[in-house]
């Protein structure tokens, strides 16, 4: 792969193949963690098997990102020692108790609660695993 093949972290989608430093497939992207409005890529939630909990891979351990493919700087053993992914809390603006309906409606438009996409469910993980299997 050349530098020309690399793409931005903004393009990463759930289900993309994840390989270790030696090119061995270890799983797929479950979720991308970051702040797109400030272009801050924190890392990835990676499913290493269908039934297991996803592992959190910090962005510093991502080597290259190409269309449909993430290569890590870690070995398979190192990935399995990573901690489980824990979803960060959502953020919301806290309004005073006496805030009126207009203020609350205005706040909902100006600063809505940041929602995160749901984690991939078991069926979706199975579908991604089957796609990877049959692409070989």
The DSSP bridge partners found for residue 34 are: 41
Q: How far apart are alpha carbons 97 and 55 in whole angstroms? A: 39
Q: Where are the domains of the chain?
A: 3-135
Read off the pLDDT of residues 10-25 as tens digits, 9 standing for 90 and up.
999 999 999 999 999 9
CB atoms within 10 A of CB 21: 15
- Which helix (H) or strand (E) segment holds residue 26: the answer is strand 25-35
Q: What is the pTM of this model?
A: 0.64
Q: How far apart are alpha carbons 5 and 16 in whole angstroms? A: 15
Spell out, as residue ranges, where the chain has pLDDT lower than 70.
1-4, 87-125, 128-129, 131-133, 135-136
Of all residues in the chain, what percent carry a pLDDT higher than 90? 45
Domain 3-135 grouped into CATH 3.20.20.60: no
């Amino acid at each position: 792969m050349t530098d020309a093949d690399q793409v931005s972290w903004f393009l990463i989608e759930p289900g993309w193949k994840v390989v270790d430093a030696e090119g061995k497939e270890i799983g797929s992207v479950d979720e991308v963690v970051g702040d797109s409005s400030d272009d801050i890529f924190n890392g990835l939630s990676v499913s290493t098997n269908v039934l297991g909990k996803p592992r959190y891979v910090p962005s510093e351990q991502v080597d290259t990102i190409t269309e449909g493919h993430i290569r890590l700087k870690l070995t398979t053993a190192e990935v399995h020692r990573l901690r489980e992914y824990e979803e960060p809390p959502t953020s919301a603006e806290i309004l005073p108790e006496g805030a009126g309906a207009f203020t609350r409606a205005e706040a909902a438009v100006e600063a809505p609660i940041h929602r995160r996409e749901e984690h991939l469910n078991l069926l979706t993980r199975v579908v991604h695993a089957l796609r990877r299997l049959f692409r070989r």
